[in-house]
């Protein structure tokens, strides 16, 4: 029998989310609409990122165009695209972006029941050398539609209804969880659609890779230093782990999810809360890790139990394969 040159039954991300929602009798399609606006933002950024190297030639982000106007930087542009896409969805009420000091409260006429926290273009120091970057997002439901406050986004991560990221790499991949496992979709540029390519992602129970900025080692706390030492010089007869560090959280977490191992951005003496932001970096990635069977830990508690007190709060983070994170938890417990 002849192999088909084309697959004709495509599971697009919209079809997938609609199917998911139809299993919930109370769902009215709002999350589907919201996610399709996020997907639109991701497609826009994917296309802009692809052209980033041509900036000088055709006058893109950060360059001065023919009219002599300063063009927007890619991260600023991405932020605007997401804010506009989210507001116009009519399904959001509070937005928190890494790019904006203050939260955005959507005008009452366009208000919906979801809050979205996002980093429109994370890892932007990697743009100019063409290394993978990404968008990260986490979605909450508001508590009371008549009375929308910052409290609606200062909820523990375990209250999220969905989270995901989009990686702009050698291909464009969107990884999503609506609380029922994790699925990966790849953008087919000829169709302009994200197609399900990585159904039901499960992280290996234990991995062979650790991922950390070792340049900070002189300021690490004891448990972090001990853990990394164990990765390099295991005493139980196992092989040492390999080190992989891209410096782009989306890419480092994506590899960790698919291949297993751990990603850490620990506290250090200079930054006692680490570097990464709770609402739009730590929480969404922790949600995905748990949904894929892994764990995420702050050095003190389960990351998703943390209750943030301000929107740009930071936290140390250790996430990845269940057993590897378990080892880190033991080292922190011994310290106490």
Which residues are near ligand AHM by CB under 6 A?
122-125, 213, 247-249, 252, 265, 275
Half-sphere exposure in the Cβ direction for 121 (13 Å, CA) = 25
List, in order, residues 6 or more apart from 229 with CB less than 8 Å away.
none
Shortest CB 188 distance to ligand AHM, Å? 26
Q: Torsion angle, CA of 291/294/296/300, rounded to 10 degrees?
A: 120
Residue 20 in contact with Mg ion, rule: CB under 5 A: no
* Residue numbers 234-253 binding Mg ion by CB under 5 A: none
Whether 126 and 246 have beta carbons less than 8 Å apart is answered as yes
Shortest CB 316 distance to Mg ion, Å? 15
x/- letters, 97..136, toward Mg ion (CB under 5 A) = ----------------------x--x--------------
Q: Please choose which of ligand AHM, Mg ion, none residue 291 contacts, taking the beta carbon within 5 to 8 angstroms, the exact cut-off set by kind.
A: none
> Coil, strand or helix: which one is 319?
strand
Whether 140 and 153 have beta carbons less than 8 Å apart is answered as yes
Q: What angle do CA 181, 183, 186 make, to 5 degrees?
A: 175
Q: State which residue, 21 or 315, has the beta carbon closest to Mg ion.
A: 315
Q: Please choose which of Mg ion, ligand AHM, none residue 213 contacts, taking the beta carbon within 5 to 8 angstroms, the exact cut-off set by kind.
A: ligand AHM
Q: Please choose which of ligand AHM, Mg ion, none residue 140 contacts, taking the beta carbon within 5 to 8 angstroms, the exact cut-off set by kind.
A: none
Shortest CB 49 distance to ligand AHM, Å? 14
As a whole number of angstroms, the distance between CA 263 and CA 64 comes to: 38
Q: Please choose which of ligand AHM, Mg ion, none residue 84 contacts, taking the beta carbon within 5 to 8 angstroms, the exact cut-off set by kind.
A: none
As a whole number of angstroms, the distance between CA 317 and CA 329 comes to: 11
List, in order, residues 6 or more apart from 44 with CB less than 8 Å away.
78, 81, 85
- Token pair, residue 242, equals 């390999």
Q: State which residue, 112 or 157, has the beta carbon closest to ligand AHM.
A: 157
Shortest CB 24 distance to ligand AHM, Å? 33
Shortest CB 318 distance to ligand AHM, Å? 13
List interacting residues with Mg ion (CB under 5 A).
Answer: 119, 122
């Amino acid at each position: 029998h002849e192999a088909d040159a084309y697959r004709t039954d495509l599971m697009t991300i919209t079809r997938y989310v609609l199917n998911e929602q139809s299993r919930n009798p109370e769902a009215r399609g709002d999350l589907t609409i919201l996610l399709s606006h996020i997907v639109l933002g991701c497609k826009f950024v994917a296309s802009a990122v692809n052209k980033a190297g041509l900036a000088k030639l055709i006058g893109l982000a950060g360059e001065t165009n023919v009219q002599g106007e300063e063009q927007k930087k890619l991260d600023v542009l991405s932020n605007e695209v997401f804010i506009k896409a989210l507001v116009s969805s009519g399904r959001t009420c509070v937005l928190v972006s890494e790019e904006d000091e203050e939260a955005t409260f959507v005008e009452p006429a366009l208000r919906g029941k979801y809050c979205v926290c996002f980093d429109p273009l994370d890892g932007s120091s990697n743009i100019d050398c063409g290394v993978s970057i990404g968008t990260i997002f986490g979605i909450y439901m508001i508590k009371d539609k008549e009375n929308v406050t910052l409290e609606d986004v200062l909820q523990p991560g375990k209250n999220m209804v969905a989270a995901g990221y989009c990686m702009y790499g050698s291909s464009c991949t969107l990884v999503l969880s609506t609380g029922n496992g994790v699925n990966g979709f790849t953008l087919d540029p000829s169709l302009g659609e994200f197609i399900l390519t990585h159904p039901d992602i499960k992280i290996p129970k234990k991995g062979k890779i650790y991922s950390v900025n070792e340049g900070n080692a002189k300021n690490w706390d004891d448990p972090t230093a001990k853990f990394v030492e164990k990765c390099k010089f295991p005493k139980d007869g196992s092989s040492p782990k390999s080190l992989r560090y891209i410096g782009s959280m989306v890419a480092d977490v994506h590899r960790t999810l698919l291949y297993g191992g751990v990603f850490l951005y620990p506290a250090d003496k200079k930054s006692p809360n680490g570097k990464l932001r709770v609402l739009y970096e730590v929480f969404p990635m922790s949600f995905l890790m748990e949904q894929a069977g892994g764990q995420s830990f702050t050095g003190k508690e389960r990351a998703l139990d943390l209750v943030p007190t301000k929107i740009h709060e930071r936290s140390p983070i250790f996430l990845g394969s269940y057993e590897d994170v378990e080892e880190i938890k033991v080292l922190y417990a011994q310290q106490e």
